[in-house]
Chains A and B, each alone.
Chain A
Amino acid sequence: MALTRNILDLRKRKQTIEKGGGDKAIQKQVSMGKLTARERILAIVDEDSFNEYDMFVEHQARDFDMDKKVLHGDGVITGTGTIFGRPVCIYAQDFTVAGGSLGLMHARKITKMMDHALKLRVPLIGINDSGGARIQEGVNSLAGYGEIFFRNTLASGVIPQLSVILGPCAGGAVYSPALTDFVFVVENISKMFITGPEVIKTVLGEEISMEDLGGAKVHSEITGNAHFYALSEKECFKQIKELLSFIPWNNGEKARSYPAKKPKRGYKIQNIVPNDPSQPYDVRDVIKSLVDESYFFEVMEKFAPNIVIGFGRLEGDTIGFIANQPKYLAGVLDCDSSDKAARFIRYCDAFNIPIITLEDMPGYLPGVDQEHMGVIRHGAKILYSYSEATVPKITVVLRKAYGGGYIAMNSRHLRADFMFSWPNAEIAVMGPEGAANIIFRKEIMNAEDPDKMRKLKVKEYKEKFANPYVAAAKGYIDSVIEPEETRKTLIHAVNVSKNKHDGRPKKKHGLPPF
């Protein structure tokens, strides 16, 4: 029967295409410790849920003998599937086909998926493993990149966009991940840079390995380009799913709710924060003592560790946490930490995730390098993001809130909904020592024993001003609470804010200090 013959022919065609660049190329991919593009997609989506499209797409390049070359799927696999039973759009570049190089049709397959994801209001997951532009296709490959970047921008803030870097991602290609919400990298496998080690060597004579220039560690610790770092692809896929469990499928929805669970008993909130404001502790322990099952899913763990960002749940609902981390750099705000927190605040705001801020911060990091790097405009980003955000915004002052930092960390003045403070908190224009030195300068200078007088005046200032009651007396703090009441108070605050409705003046867009 003709139909049978046609079906057999279809199967044969599919089989050939599914081989990608062929056995030899697949062997090479495997020998580099990498999974194939198809294996990656199948490992991420629910079993039997992947539907591939544009399998039979062929490239249209004619120059440089390209017309004689067959590139299966044009080096990229695209399709839809489900994760937790909910739809996603996904694509994976296939390094075994012409090094995963991006030509026009390759890009068109990706942009078709992006258009689908945006119309269907579902997350887009892009797996990058590509040598870069397909040089033989010239300006057409540039067109391809541009069309991807444009769609990344259109979809930004509407659907979640996840970039998974599982191989090289160099030159212009890096800008698609940079425009997306979350970037995942894997040790020894991910490599991202604008100009590679070869170019740097010829132009500058500087020798550097790919790993040292743009490896997974570099982007997780130094540049801040990556949000999640994993030791293996398997761990990376687990992180992707965990992230998706915390976020909504689009900006018109709320994140999925889970059954409410209590925090683990090991975290004793009243014992974590030392009374002495100069002593460090790990603020993540405070978060863990508040959230369901003490489970905190941290974002950008290694970059700017002086601020902690991530997701946790309160009675089953997703919350975005932002917390100063006294363990590193005393929890100051600086260029990097402001940048890190500001982007996360905007993410939560775009996707209807309430924000809880845990504050314990001495101010902005002093230094010429900070000033010259532009701590003014970077620091302004955090003010901008908090002010702009209209999701429920709740702050707990754990220990100290001095100066500009007090204003920046979601203060009442930036329209926080609820401001709580622990009783030991110091909320003041600056630290007691600095303040006493200025206010009582004359008394200290003219005293017989200036040191003794200084100590006396610092003590006096501390008693009078370094507490939460001055701010509470003015209504800047709504309630002073005991540490053990914090979870209960926060759950109540989030629950009463469920139907929060707040707006900002209509505008084309604001001008955040990029």
Chain B
Amino acid sequence: MTKEKKKRNKSLIVSGQKFYTQLTPKFESRTAWEKANPKHLRAIIPGNIEDIVAVEKKRYKKGDVLLTFKAMKMLNTVLMPFSGVVKKIHVKKGDVLTKNQLMVEIE
């Protein structure tokens, strides 16, 4: 028989049945899903902040430019998705951002 270090089995429910089995590291390190908040503007790809136009507590119309963000050698402008007040700007010029990093919060 195949001999390996004994690992504790955990339970996993599939098709309404409970099974005892080992979980893989990839399965255990999966991230929980969260609903996207439209008031949070996040970096969709890694890149850095070239320029910030927006000011906190100020009202902007839909389509106004908030900041420019350089990613994959391209300059992207991040626009106000709907009219509202910018609550907080979480980044500053020159910041290097990872994917999904929060840039701007809208009230």
Contacts and interface: CB of A to CB of B under 8 A. Distances in A.
Interface in B1-53: 1-2, 9, 12-27, 30-33, 46-47
A434 B26 contact: no
Interface string A323-341: 0001111111000100000
A478 B23 CA distance: 34
Given A362-B15, A430-B15, A433-B16, A369 B21 contact: no
Interface in A307-353: 326-332, 336
A267 B1 contact: yes
Contacts of B12: 329-330, 332
Contacts of B18: 278
A304 B25 CA distance: 10
A285 B1 contact: yes
Specify which of B24, B96, B98 lies most central, judged by the most chain A CB atoms within 10 Å of its CB.
B24
A309 to B, nearest CB: 16
Nearest to B22: A328
B32 to A, nearest CB: 8
A398 to B, nearest CB: 14
Interface string A417-461: 000000000000011111101000000000000000000000000
A206 interface: yes
A420 B97 CA distance: 56
A372 interface: yes
A284 B21 contact: no
A327 B21 contact: yes
A434 B15 contact: yes
Given A204-B46, A204-B96, A285-B1, A328 B15 contact: no
A203 interface: yes
B16 A437 contact: yes
B14 A280 contact: no
Contacts of B98: 204-206
A277 B14 contact: no
A266 interface: yes
Contacts of B26: 221-222, 336
B14 A330 contact: yes
Interface residues of A, number: 45
B19 A326 contact: yes
B17 A329 contact: no
Contact of B33 (A278, A372, A435, A437): A372
Nearest to B26: A222
A409 to B, nearest CB: 14
Contacts of A267: 1
A192 B84 CA distance: 46
Interface in B46-69: 46-47
Contacts, number: 92
A205 B43 CA distance: 15
B6 to A, nearest CB: 12
Given A330-B21, A368-B33, A266 B14 contact: no
Interface in A369-403: 369, 372, 402-403
A192 B65 CA distance: 40
A279 interface: yes
B2 A365 contact: no
A329 B2 contact: no
Given A362-B14, A403-B15, A434-B15, A329 B27 contact: yes
A402 B30 CA distance: 25
Nearest to A334: B27
Interface in A27-69: none
A431 B31 contact: no
A363 interface: yes
Contact of B2 (A222, A282, A331, A403): A282
A431 B21 contact: no
A305 interface: yes
Contacts of A362: 14-15, 17, 19
A434 B14 CA distance: 10
A510 interface: no
Interface string A201-239: 001111000000000000001100000000000000000
B29 to A, nearest CB: 10
B24 A278 contact: no
A284 B4 CA distance: 13
Given A369-B31, A431-B17, A434-B16, A266 B22 contact: no
Given A306-B24, A364-B14, A430-B15, 16 more contacts: A204-B46, A304-B24, A326-B19, A328-B21, A329-B27, A362-B17, A363-B14, A366-B14, A367-B30, A369-B30, A369-B33, A430-B16, A431-B17, A432-B17, A434-B15, A437-B16
Interface of A: 203-206, 221-222, 266-267, 277-280, 282, 284-285, 288, 304-306, 326-332, 336, 362-369, 372, 402-403, 430-435, 437
30 contacts: A203-B46, A203-B47, A204-B98, A205-B96, A206-B98, A277-B19, A280-B19, A280-B20, A305-B24, A327-B21, A328-B23, A329-B12, A329-B21, A329-B23, A330-B14, A330-B21, A332-B14, A336-B26, A362-B17, A362-B19, A363-B15, A365-B27, A367-B30, A368-B32, A369-B30, A402-B15, A430-B15, A431-B15, A431-B17, A433-B17
